[in-house]
Amino acid sequence: MMRSCLLSALVCWAGMVWPIAASAQPRIDYSAPSNWLCFPGRSDTCSAQLTSTVFSSADGEVSRRSDAPDPAAPIDCFYVYPTVSRESTPNSDMALGPEEQHAALEQFARFSAKCRTYAPLYRQTTVAAMNGAASGADRELAYRDVLDAWRFYLGHHNRGRGVVLIGHSQGANLLIRLVSEEIDGRKIQRQLVSALLIGANIQVPTGRDEGGTFQHIPLCRKPDQIGCVIGYSSYLASQPPGSDAIFGAAAGPASANACVNPGALMNDGGLDAELPTVGEVATALGTDLVENPGLISGACTTVGDRTFLAIAIKAGGIGAEKVNRLLTTLATRRPRWGLHAIDINLALGNLVELVGREGDSWQLNGHTDTGG
């Protein structure tokens, strides 16, 4: 059984130039529950209790940790999943398949402990379109669906609550456009708790935290900062991106690709990686995720014109050999993509904790839960 398209490294839509053309396809009715992958108050991928197998890097002790959704979470999270559809057509349909469910389970469900979870289905450009096996992809259609879902959420469910935007790859690129056109510099920006836009290219002027892709929304520099952006693309420190790499490129000599290390916001750069279990490992462990605390670290690094999150593995740590083999295999399979397939999972624990801190900060700044 295919456990995850994410670990196949086929989860990217890296383009940043979108055609501005009206789609002839009918609009999606986001008042219908079937058009949401995750939605508060019902049983779905994001409402289940997740379990992780935790291998202590200090003494090798093995334990399990469970995470349950918080129905009283003070903020919302709005997630757009990456390129996962295996349909043969250039754009996917609106049917909920295992690929969408696995993406949400592995990248997004953990956030339900800190926020109410909203994730629309949308007619994304497919893996077939990305690989050139299907032509005529309507990228405007994918964006229009996400925009319609966002506007429906704002009009019917937000009710003044703070919201975190979370996206990876194609999902991040769609949200980058949405933030640029619908949030940046507008009244709704006051409700933006943060935007986790991972595995996409976000530009900032050299030495500055805002003024490039987003004019009024800075990069996050403190764990309790709100109204800011976290973005990065990950490569092994031992295999940095070359000049032909998909991610990390500066747009010009006065610009740099954004890199915010979630580990550095919370500690010394250590990453709380929560990697999806697959195949025989999933069967043997019987959990959704596996963690090796203290084993992986990240550092924002620039090589040539590429700025990226450089991933290193602690030598001699418990499980280091297996994790190193996994990451090296992934990075070697498509060197231009690096560790793109697991960008979020490499820092998932840090990102969830940061969203929790931001939610607390949101309340401390005088905001209250207005229900919904």
Task: Give the residue-averaged pLDDT of 330-339.
Answer: 96
Domain around 94: 9-364
Asked if the structure places residue 272 within a domain, the reply is: yes
pLDDT at res. 284: 87
With beta carbons less than 8 A apart as the criterion, state whether 241 and 336 touch.
Answer: yes
Q: Which two tokens mark 142?
A: 């994918």
Would you say residue 369 has pLDDT above 70? Answer: no
pLDDT at res. 307: 97
Least reliable range by pLDDT among 37-46, 58-67, 210-219, 222-231: 58-67
Task: Give the residue-averaged pLDDT of 289-297.
Answer: 92
Give 320's contacts (C-beta < 8 A, 6+ positions apart). Answer: 57, 295, 313, 314
Task: Give the residue-averaged pLDDT of 205-211.
Answer: 93
Least reliable range by pLDDT among 125-129, 180-184, 312-316: 312-316
Least reliable range by pLDDT among 21-25, 111-115, 218-222, 357-361: 21-25
Asked if the structure places residue 4 within a domain, the reply is: no
Task: Give the residue-averaged pLDDT of 172-188.
Answer: 98
The whole-angstrom separation of Cα 129 and Cα 33 is: 28
Q: What percent of the chain has pLDDT over 70?
A: 91
Would you say residue 113 has pLDDT above 50? Answer: yes
Structural domains counted in the chain:
1
Asked if the structure places residue 1 within a domain, the reply is: no
Would you say residue 361 has pLDDT above 60? Answer: yes
Asked if the structure places residue 209 within a domain, the reply is: yes
pLDDT at res. 11: 37
Would you say residue 240 has pLDDT above 80? Answer: yes
Asked if the structure places residue 47 within a domain, the reply is: yes
pLDDT tens, residue by residue, 21-73: 456 789 999 999 999 999 999 999 999 888 999 987 667 789 999 889 999 99
pLDDT band per the 50, 70, 90 thresholds, residue 14: very low
With beta carbons less than 8 A apart as the criterion, state whether 231 and 200 touch.
Answer: yes
Asked if the structure places residue 53 within a domain, the reply is: yes
Q: Kindly give the residue spans of alpha helices, DSSP state H, lying in the chain.
A: 98-107, 127-130, 139-153, 170-178, 262-266, 279-285, 320-333, 348-364
3-state DSSP: the chain helix, strand, coil percent, rounded to 5? 30, 20, 50
> For the whole model, what pTM was predicted?
0.92
Would you say residue 2 has pLDDT above 50? Answer: no
Task: Give the residue-averaged pLDDT of 81-109.
Answer: 96
Asked if the structure places residue 3 within a domain, the reply is: no
pLDDT at res. 79: 98
Q: Which two tokens mark 163?
A: 């919201």
Q: What percent of the chain has pLDDT over 90?
A: 79
Would you say residue 205 has pLDDT above 80? Answer: yes
